[in-house]
Amino acid sequence: MGDTILTVKDLTVQFWVGDEWFTAVDKLSYTLKAGEVLAIVGESGSGKTQSSMSLLGLLPPTGRATGSANLKGTELVGMSIQELREIRGNEVSIIFQEPMTALNPVYTVGFQIVETLRTHYLMSPTVAKERAIELMTLVEIPSPADSFDKFPHQLSGGQRQRIMIAQALACEPKLLIADEPTTALDVTVQAEILKLMRDLRERVSAGIILITHDMGVVADMADRIIVMKDGVVVEHGTSQEIFKNPQHPYTQQLLAAVPHLAEHVDGDELSGPPQTIIMVDDVPVPLSEPRSDKPRPS
């Protein structure tokens, strides 16, 4: 595992509701290393999404963040919208739950990956197309050269999510945030995407934050797990610790909600691949040839 890329300290997110500040995330602290997968787990409303959105200036206007989030020496909390926009494009990628809302319905998926590439790198259209097809191959889109010219609605939900992942990997982010990346998919497709994420994890070196309400999703994927409830961290440990010896009743409850995991919680070795896993990720994706393109100076 590499250097620390993200250090979050006492991150607090609040929303102005009615006539007072509601605290959605209360003094969250963690660190993330390159190549590491940190899962943030908790039921709906526990503050998982807003804790990440706040890092990127994506809170709604009624929200505010305090505390500190240091991305490789850059303080994100309090940064201008303009600066954060650049960070979002270059250093950090996000994979959302619902790819249909993140992809533009009027452009082909290939064009959208090419646009992402050309926004970040000085690249000819031909080279960008080659690279886009490489990325589509990496995320196991069938017949990538043909799929390049398809519109989002012509692909299945699982394939759209693969395209989102390809797009997220395009700019080789240092940090990849995956917010419930498989929740909208049916169980079979979910398992396929999780397998892809596990495979990619071996091939890219970004730090990954995997957000999910489902412990089953993190079992094979996370190095460390933060369990959140009502905006507060109730438990934080290595995957091993959390799965083998969960301390907090809420963690035990989350584990019990995943039937095929619950039987292992007593301390048995986890055996066999769980049906779900997770992902998020990014970084220097090993491709067939080193690219000569230089990142566009910003």
Ligand X SMILES: Nc1ncnc2c1ncn2[C@@H]1O[C@H](COP(=O)(O)OP(=O)(O)O)[C@@H](O)[C@H]1O
Q: Which residues bind Mg ion (CB under 5 A)?
A: 49
Closest CA to 243 of 39, 25, 22: 39
Strand partners, 211: 40, 179
- Which of the ranges 14-22, 113-121, 156-164, 219-227 carries the binding residues for ligand X, by CB under 6 A? 14-22
- Residue 11: partners with Cβ closer than 8 Å, 6 or more residues away: 25, 27, 28, 29, 51, 54, 55, 65, 66, 67, 68, 69, 77
Which entry of Mg ion, ligand X, none binds 80, CB below 5 to 8 A by partner kind?
none
Report the residue closest to Mg ion, judged by CB.
Answer: 49
Type of residue numbered 244: K
Which entry of Mg ion, ligand X, none binds 145, CB below 5 to 8 A by partner kind?
none
Does 62 interact with ligand X (rule: CB under 6 A)?
yes
Are 41 and 254 spatial neighbours (Cβ–Cβ below 8 Å)? yes
Tokens at 132, concatenated: 């886009």
Does 17 interact with ligand X (rule: CB under 6 A)?
yes
Regarding beta strands 92-95 and 175-179, do their DSSP bridges make them parallel or antiparallel, or are they unpaired?
parallel
- Between residues 24 and 242, which has the closer beta carbon with respect to ligand X? 24
Give residue 48's Cα distance to chain centre. 12
Using CB under 6 A, pick the residue from 7, 9, 15, 262 that binds ligand X: 15
- Between residues 49 and 116, which has the closer beta carbon with respect to Mg ion? 49
Are 166 and 196 spatial neighbours (Cβ–Cβ below 8 Å)? no
Q: CB of residue 159 vs Mg ion: minimum separation in angstroms?
A: 23
Using CB under 6 A, pick the residue from 19, 44, 105, 266 that binds ligand X: 44
Using CB under 6 A, pick the residue from 18, 19, 20, 60 that binds ligand X: 60
Using CB under 6 A, pick the residue from 5, 12, 48, 57 that binds ligand X: 48
Does 18 interact with ligand X (rule: CB under 6 A)?
no
- Between residues 13 and 138, which has the closer beta carbon with respect to Mg ion? 13
In what side-by-side order are the strands of the sheet with 4-17?
20-33, 4-17, 63-71, 74-75
Are 281 and 259 spatial neighbours (Cβ–Cβ below 8 Å)? no
- Between residues 47 and 152, which has the closer beta carbon with respect to ligand X? 47
Residues that bind ligand X (CB under 6 A): 15, 17, 22, 24, 42, 44-50, 60, 62-63
